[in-house]
Amino acid sequence: SQQGEEDPQALSIQEGENATMNCSYKTSINNLQWYRQNSGRGLVHLILIRSNEREKHSGRLRVTLDTSKKSSSLLITASRAADTASYFCATDSNGNKLVFGAGTILRVKS
C-alpha cells in the first residue's frame, strides 16, 4: 500500500517559475524524504527531513513538514528545464522501509 500521496499528479510550469508539490501521509513517521526520477529510471535522493524538523533547505529546494497535519511540501525555486522529472515523497516509519507515494510529474517548459 502507498502511504504518501502527492498533489498535484502533474504540474507544468515555465522555466524560472517556482514549483510546489505536496505530500500527505497517514501514520507517524521517523522521517520523510523526497526523490526525483528521470524517465522511469533510478531514483535520486533530494532531501530528508526528520520528524522533529519543520523546514529544510538544499540549494533551490525547500521542504517543509507539518506532523500535526501529516503533510509535507517540496518547493523548487527558479525551475529549469532539467528539473523535468517525477518527484516522489517517501515516509520512513519502521526501520528504513520506505513507503512511496504515486508521485508528481513535473514538466518545466523552456
Partner 1 sequence: DAGVTQSPTHLIKTRGQQVTLRCSPKSGHDTVSWYQQALGQGPQFIFQYYEEEERQRGNFPDRFSGHQFPNYSSELNVNALLLGDSALYLCASSLPITPEKLFFGSGTQLSVL
Question: Contact positions toward partner 1, by CB under 8 A?
Answer: 1-2, 4, 30-31, 33, 35, 40-45, 48, 88, 90, 92, 94-103
Q: Strands across the sheet with 61-66, in order?
A: 5-7, 19-24, 71-76, 61-66, 55-58
Residue 17 or 57: the one with the smaller Cβ distance to partner 1 is 57
Q: Which residue's entry shows cell 524560472?
A: 16
Name the minimum Å distance from CB 47 to partner 1. 10
What is the DSSP track for 21-89?
EEEE-SS--SEEEEEEESTTS-EEEEEEEETT-SEEEETTEEEEEETTTTEEEEEE-S--GGG-EEEEE
Residue 37 or 77: the one with the smaller Cβ distance to partner 1 is 37
Residue 31 or 64: the one with the smaller Cβ distance to partner 1 is 31
Name the minimum Å distance from CB 51 to partner 1. 11
Name the minimum Å distance from CB 78 to partner 1. 26
